Amino acid sequence: MMDAREFLTTILRPGIAWYSGLPGWNVPTDERAELLMLVISGTESGWTERIQSGPTPAAHSFFQMERGGMVTGVLSSAKTKELAGEVCRMMFVAPDAPHAWGVMATERGDKLAVAFARLGLWLDPHSLPALADEQGAFDCYVRVWRPGAVTKGGDRAVQARDRWHTVYQNAIKAVEGA
């Protein structure tokens, strides 16, 4: 089981370094994007599960991206399609949703998932929230990831918001300490 700091140093930062060196990569990744990706992955998977639990896994990677949602969106958007295709080609993965999504369920797909998570955030028309803006970060997460626990409301939404707060605090400490 990983914690925020271990995920940051062994998965997230190596993934960012990898995609930042790809030809034509023009998506800025600063500490705001890094923190947001760290919190999203912690909220979605607890930095432990690459395959969503349940009777029919719908999401893969530590970011828990759905094949028909985030993965398809990043591969088909005019803004990200070319970069997503290059990411797939560099990973020797067919640039289509079934293949990219499938690889994201494996350790081999960690860099691919980090790149797709950043591209997904880049599709948001709003600016990335400031480092200390926990509510802005949560709002961005809800807009881009559309987590069912939050969008359906009720007790699950309250629990999801509480989980976000806890993960956010852990992520801030990890970034400050790394």
Residue-level pLDDT at 56: 66
Is residue 156 very low, low, confident or very high in pLDDT (cuts 50, 70, 90)?
confident
**Tens digits of residue pLDDT in 161-171:** 999 999 999 99
Buried b / exposed e along 111-132 (16+ C-beta atoms within 10 A): bbbbbbbbbbbbeeeeebbebe
Helix axes 134-145, 110-122, angle to 10 degrees: 100
Q: What average pLDDT score do residues 109-120 get?
A: 98
Q: What average pLDDT score do residues 124-148 get?
A: 94
- Tell whether the model's pLDDT for residue 110 goes beyond 70: yes
Is residue 149 very low, low, confident or very high in pLDDT (cuts 50, 70, 90)?
confident
Q: What average pLDDT score do residues 87-98 get?
A: 97
pTM of the model: 0.95
C-alpha to C-alpha distance for 68 and 66, rounded to whole angstroms: 6
C-alpha to C-alpha distance for 129 and 101, rounded to whole angstroms: 27
- Tell whether the model's pLDDT for residue 124 goes beyond 70: yes
**Tens digits of residue pLDDT in 42-90:** 999 999 999 998 766 689 999 999 999 999 999 999 999 999 999 999 9
Strand partners, 66: 59
Residues 6+ apart with CB under 8 A from 86: 22, 23, 24, 25
